Structure formats: structure tokens, C-alpha cells
Amino acid sequence: MSTGSLLTRLTCRGCSASFDADRPQTVCPTCGSALLAEYDLSRLEGHAWLASLPGRPTTLWRYRELLPVRDEKWISSLGEGCSPVLPLGEVPEAPGLEVWVKDEGALPTGSFKARGMAVAVSRASELGLTELFVPSAGNAAVALSAYGARARRKVRVYLPEATPEAMPEACRLYGAEVVRVPGTIRDAGIAARQREEGTGAFDVSTLREPYRVEGKKTMGWEILEQFRGDRMPDAVVYPAGGGTGLVGMARAFSEMRELGLLERPPRLYAVQPEGCAPLVRALQEGKPRIEPWAEPRTVAPGLLVPAPFASERVLEAVRETKGDGVPVSDEEIRRAMGQLGRRHGVSASPEGAAPYAALSRLLSGGRLHPGERVLLFNTGTGIPFLGSGLAR
């Protein structure tokens, strides 16, 4: 049965080349930039379509016209999407702000990575791909392993040796082959691509294939639905490793504007740890792309990304919304994990706690203002980190 997908093609923002969306594609063969999906939005009446959504299943596939899978039989779903938004009210460290959190830890596999992998694996299946691999700091590997099992695809994951043991164990539980690699996720990526060369396996790394970002895009559409009838957040504060979620949300906001559903998007703020903040540095210095971070270190493994691929697209997404970047210390992340748990009953990973930690800096720096509505993204549950002693 047709999903009604309005997918038309893949385009490269680097050199403007266009490619067939119905053949497996990685990066642009001309310039090496990320490829992004394009949809024929002229065939969608925005307000009528938005009004139809409450009658659809409460998964991200409710946005099926704006997702790349063409035939429902290829969809591999674990019920992902529609994560809750929870009011936190005022935060003592950031008085005057109306603070909410979108809790992605409630998704299948415990993190926002379920969104991207659900769409990427489903589309890979539709395109006839049978073997998939990914380098990961943990959550993406778990998500690929689960969705690969659901779709009956063979999966290999490459994890830094320092990854919390609960994550490789989860990958093995789902039947994936686990390869441990010394160093950071960058080292894992290098090792993965060297080992996989010539195997025929498909790389589903962040922005190295076109469809994980489409799954992340649904975060933006959910924000519109969940705050509809009230008011959209003035700002969204998001922990950025590879930064795909920022690109995805900016794409959703752009689609909303084209469909006449949004006048002004929320400002996007990228949060990174002080010990590994290449995106924040590039934003603050006005650079068009990042420079790799030397000697990266942080307690948040998902944010230990010293050289995000396609950083131009991430920086562009933040700047288009008039947002910015902010660093936080590891001690602030630890404290925020404990505060979210004790004050609000929210289980947050170190990555997911980083936006909460950033609130006071954003307020004191004049980037957030009293009276504004601010949405934080908790990108993953803190359960894999229990016993680590991280929370303060």
C-alpha cells in the first residue's frame, strides 16, 4: 500500500547536483557533501493535512507524505515517535523562563536515535539493501541493531572502547556484530569504513546517507503539533554531537513555512561540552565549517564528536533560525543529570542533561529572555549510565 510519500529527488547543497532518490545513495559523488531529500510540497494543502494528523497512528509515520518510504510494507516500526513534552516550569538557575522538556528517552531503544534508524532502515529495505553498518558512540548502534533485527537485515556496529557496557550488550542482544575500537567515534568511523570497504555493506552514519535526518525531522513536526493551539517555543536547546537533529528540525521548520503553517521558527541552540565543542566554536567565530577538535574529552559519549561530518549543514541550520551555540562543563552536566531526576522525575543521559545545564549560561548571556518558552531535548534515558557515579 502506498504511503503517499511526496519524495522527488536527492540534492546536494554543496554543488547543487541532483540524484535519483530511488537508488541507494551515500554522499554526493561530485563534491562529497551530504545529500538531502526533496519533496513536492505543492501537492499538499498544509492546513488540511495538519488537521488530518490527530486521526493517524501516534508514531512518526503519521507524517508519511513527508518521509521517504513509498510502500508501507517496507516500514519497520517499534512504535517510535510522539515522545512526551513535559512542563518543568521555572528552573531556579534560570528564573523567569517557562521551561519544557521533550523526553526522547521514552522512545524505543531509549533515545532519539530510534527516529533516524527507523526511517533509514525502512528505506534501506525498500531499496534492496541487506547489510548495514554504523560507527557510533552507543545509542545509534543500539537503534540500528534493533531496527535491523526488526527488518531482518544484517548489522555491524563499531563502538569506541569506552562506550558503557550496557550498549554493546544491547546490540548483541538484537543480533548485531559488535566491533570495539580504541579512541573516539571518529576513530570508530575510520576503522569501520576501512574494514567495510568492498563488503557491499551500506554505511548509515550520520549524514552519510540521506534518510536518518528525515527521521530526526519529525521532532520538529511533533513540536508544532504538541504546542499547536498555544504557542510554539521561542527557543529549542539541543545537545549536538553530529548535529543531525538540528538539521532535521530546521528542515521541518522550512517545510512548515512553505506550507503556510509557521511564520517564525524557534531559535535553535546547540549545546556541546567544553572539552569537545567544534560546532560551538565555529558558530562563535563565524566560520562556515568546523575545524576538528584537538584532544576531545567529556563525560557525555554521544557528544564526543571532534569532527562532525557535513558541519556546514549543521551550522547553517542554527544560523537560519538565528540561534547560537553554548558550551557547558562536565561538572554542569553531572549536576544537571541529578537535578532533572530529583526535581522533575526525568531520567537523562549526560547528553540529554546538557541542555538543562546550558539554561543559566544562555539566560545570563542574553540569548534567552525572561518570559520566553524554552524547549529542552532530553535525547536519551540515563539508565545505561546507572552506577557510573555521573549524576551529582
| pLDDT score for 363 | 96
Query: Is there a common fold for 85-111+210-385 and 113-203?
Result: yes
Q: What is the pLDDT of residue 162?
A: 86
Domains of the chain by residue range = 7-74, 85-111+210-385, 113-203
What's the pLDDT score for residue 229? 65
Q: Return the pLDDT at 90.
A: 80
Angle, alpha carbons 203-108-305 (nearest 5°) = 45
Specify the residue for cell string 563525560.
299
Helices (H), the chain: 46-52, 113-126, 139-151, 166-173, 185-196, 212-227, 244-258, 278-285, 311-320, 330-344, 350-364
Listed as ranges, residues in the chain with pLDDT below 70 are 229, 389, 391-392
Q: Which CATH class is domain 85-111+210-385?
A: alpha beta
For the chain, how are helix, strand and coil distributed in percent, rounded to 5? 40, 20, 40
Distance CA 147, CA 114 (A): 8
Second CATH level (architecture) for the domain 113-203: 3-Layer(aba) Sandwich (3.40)
Alpha-carbon distance 250 to 244, whole Å?
10
Quote the pTM value.
0.95
For residue 257, what pLDDT is reported? 96
Burial group, residue 339, by CB count within 10 angstroms (0-12, 13-18, 19+) = buried
pLDDT at residue 19, as a whole number: 97
pLDDT at 221: 98
- pLDDT given at position 137: 86
186-195 contacts, C-beta under 8 A, 24 or more apart:
186/292, 186/305, 186/306, 186/307, 187/160, 188/135, 188/136, 188/158, 188/159, 188/160, 189/135, 189/158, 191/135, 191/158, 192/133, 192/134, 192/135, 192/156, 192/158, 195/158
What pLDDT, on the 0 to 100 scale, is given for residue 391?
67
